[in-house]
Every structure is written in C-alpha cells, then in structure tokens.
Amino acid sequence: MDARKILLVIFDGLGDRPLTELGHKTPLEATPKPNLDWFASNGVNGLVDPIAPGVAAGSDTSHLALFGYDPKEVYTGRGPFEAAGVGIDMEPGDIAFRGNFASVDEDLKLTDRRAGRIREGTEELAKALDGLKLGRIKANVREGTEHRVAVVLRGRGLSPKVTDTDPHEIGETIQESKPLESAARVTAKAVNAFTQQSYKILKAHPVNRARVAKGEPPANAIVLRGAGIFPDLVPITERFHLTAAGIAGVALIRGMFRTFGMDVIDVRGATGGLDTDMIAKADAAMDALRTHDLVVLHVKAPDLCGHDGKASEKIRVIERMDAMMGHLKAMLSTEVVVALTADHSTPVALKDHSGDPVPLTIFGEGVRVDDVLNFDERSMAHGALGRLRGTDVMNVLLNASNRMEKYGA
C-alpha cells in the first residue's frame, strides 16, 4: 500500500452566513469559483465544526484541533504561539502574551485597536520596548504581522493566571491586569507597569511623531491578551510518523507550525495580508511536497475581510483563492491528496468568529466521490463526509493518503 503526500489548504475565516446584499447567499455561494467547485465535484465533501457545534473557535484552538490536538487538554493560551511565530524562544517560567499596537488618548482610552492597521515602523517600535525592566521582570518584545506584537515576560514567580488589558472596544480604557490567583500578583503588577512604561516610550517615538504629522493614528500603546506558558505538545512528526512543512504569512500560524514540529517555509510576498502572493505560496507548497509528506498552506485574507465586514472584498479574495487552486490543479499528481477547509467562520455581518461549521473537501485517487458540485457552506451539508469535528480531520486525511494505523488487532 503506497502512502501518498498530503496538501492541506486552510482558508482562514472562510465560512460565512447568507447576506441580504448578496441575494441571501454567502460570499462563497455568490462568487464564481470554477476551480474550487472542480475540487468539490471531484472529491468527497462535508462540514467541520472546528471545536464543537455552535462553538466559536479561535484561530489558535481551531488549528490545534485540525492537527489532531484536543484544545481542552493542551491549550495554554495564544501568547506562546505568537512568541514562537516571531522568533522568541521561551524558557521555563516565561509568560507570553499576544498584543496589538493600538492608538489611545491621554487617558489611555482606545481610539483604534489596530493603530490604523500599521504596517511600517513596528520593528523600530518593538525594539524600543525590548528588554524593558519591570522591577525584577524583563519584557521581550517582537513585532508580528501588521499591528500584532508578541510580549514575553521573564523572571521569577510568574503565572499566566491574569486578566487581559485589551478592552476590545473603541472608547474604553486599557484595562488593569488583575491576578486570578494569588500566585499571579507579580505577573499582573509587571503587566500594568508594562502598559504605563510602553505608553511613555511609544508616544514620544519618532515613528509615532511622523505618523501624527501625516494624520495617521499613532501606535502609542500595546494592549495584551492570551497569556500562556509554552504548551507541552508531541510533534506531529512523531505522532503521525511523517515529515511536515507549513507556509503562512501571519506570525501566529507560523508559530503554531513551529510548535507542532513542522518546518516553516519562507515565501517572498507571503505577507499575511490582503496583498499576499497566493501564487507564490502555491508554488512553494508544490516544491515542499517533493521533500515532505504533509504540507500545509495557510491563507489569512478571507478572515481579514470578515472582520472588516466587507463582503465585496471577501468575494475578490475568493476569486484569487480560486485562481490559486487552478494553478495548483495544473501541477498535481495522483501521489497527492488535497484537502480544502477553513479554521473557523468569520461572517461579514458579525465581523467576528462564529460557531458555524466550515466546508471540507478531500480530493485524491481513491476517494469516494459524492454528489456535491459546489464548494460552499450549504452544498457541503449534503456531502458524504457528513459533519465532523476538527480533531477528526487529520485522521480522515491519514486514511485518504494510506497512512492510517490499525486500531486493534
């Protein structure tokens, strides 16, 4: 029995809900997408609840599930994945946070959670804060994709059991971090000191003075959330006995790939934004399949459109995704099993994640092709795979690629 290669394509936040402005269709249903439909009509299809039916999954917990890890058992917070994605090597006792460069007024009230989705100057801003002393605690700071930033606190007596400082709402004041247990008092104190000291440094930084002069929102504060310790995970290379590589532009997903034990492939033009070069990522994925058993190609763009509430932009992104799949289709061989899915739904109407299931298509030699003709949310409800949970996906892929292990004698 010949084992096949696996190409898993994850379209971040792709799932959606019907919109009145689209004639009560979802963006997937409203978009001409001949290549995505070709994979659906020549594959086996279904729906996936990343965590469980009705549960709105985070990007971190959903990816854990898609790679066969039970988030309820192994999830320690998003911060450690952000840290891994930007190259911070965590040590025992470190506490990591994910954060945003944000814009605030003199009273530390949010005026923009993403500082205008700042894309330039974040490296200089992060360097100005890296190594900041907070009493006996030291802060390690690295810029992420666009407005994102990772912060790791290092020192004795730290605990991840603290509340976030991110209020999530414009007009609200940056929250004071509070300990959720007595052992976390040192951490909360350090976090609050970081909020105050980073504001003083950032508001006077040349990058922000230049932004204000140009009428752009300054990145003069950092809001933190997702405190966690580095998770104890068995690499998928050991669990599934295969070699694996991942391609992504956004730091969180790159960090998760590293944490899972996968090789992370750098691709010129893979930005993690709407301007990402999908064709270059597809070419890199095909190259990686020559040397790896499993290759994961992550596309962030549809999630950004969902969060911004822009249906027309999500449609344009789906058109580009379809062109990418057409490019891939022309290069595939019978030795590769292709899976297309999403990590969660980000409906345009909600501007946030929802608990709606996402499409799943598996294409390859020997799959039991069903009657589904279109790659969209409602068509997939009629697929032969039925409705799976995220933790089922990797088992289904291992089976389709002849890499499954017998359960029992």
pLDDT digits (tens, 9 = 90+) for 222-234: 999 999 999 989 9
| Dihedrals phi, psi of 272, to nearest 5 degrees | 80, 5
**What pTM was computed for the model?**
0.88
Class of domain 5-74+233-400: alpha beta
Cα 253 from Cα 264, distance rounded (Å): 10
Cα 271 from Cα 371, distance rounded (Å): 37
Q: What's the start-to-end Cα distance of the chain, in Å?
A: 18
- Compute the mean pLDDT over every residue in the chain, rounded to the nearest whole number: 96
pLDDT at 409 > cutoff 90: no
pLDDT band (50, 70, 90) for residue 1: low
User: What does DSSP assign to residue 360?
Assistant: E
8 Å CB contact between 188 and 198: no
- In this prediction, residues 290-305 reach a mean pLDDT of 97
Following CA atoms 309, 359, 340, 344 in sequence, which dihedral angle do they give, to the nearest 10 degrees? 50
Percentage, residues of the chain above pLDDT 90: 93
Q: Under the phi-then-psi rule, with left for phi > 0, alpha for psi from -120 to 50, and beta for the rest, what region is 61? A: alpha
- In this prediction, residues 256-277 reach a mean pLDDT of 95
pLDDT tens per residue, range 199-218: 999 999 999 999 999 999 99
Percentage, residues of the chain above pLDDT 70: 100
Cα 1 from Cα 129, distance rounded (Å): 55
pLDDT at 382: 98
pLDDT at 403: 95
**Ordered strands of the 294-299 beta sheet:** 263-264, 244-247, 294-299, 5-11, 336-341, 358-363, 44-49, 386-389
pLDDT band (50, 70, 90) for residue 119: confident
pLDDT at 61 > cutoff 80: yes
- In this prediction, residues 66-84 reach a mean pLDDT of 93
| Dihedrals phi, psi of 200, to nearest 5 degrees | -60, -40
pLDDT at 67: 97
Determine how β-strand 294-299 pairs with β-strand 336-341.
unpaired
pLDDT tens per residue, range 322-364: 999 999 999 998 999 999 999 999 999 999 999 999 999 999 9
Residue 309, H or E segment: none
pLDDT band (50, 70, 90) for residue 146: confident
Determine how β-strand 137-143 pairs with β-strand 148-154.
antiparallel
Where along the chain do the CATH 3.40.720.10 domains lie? 5-74+233-400
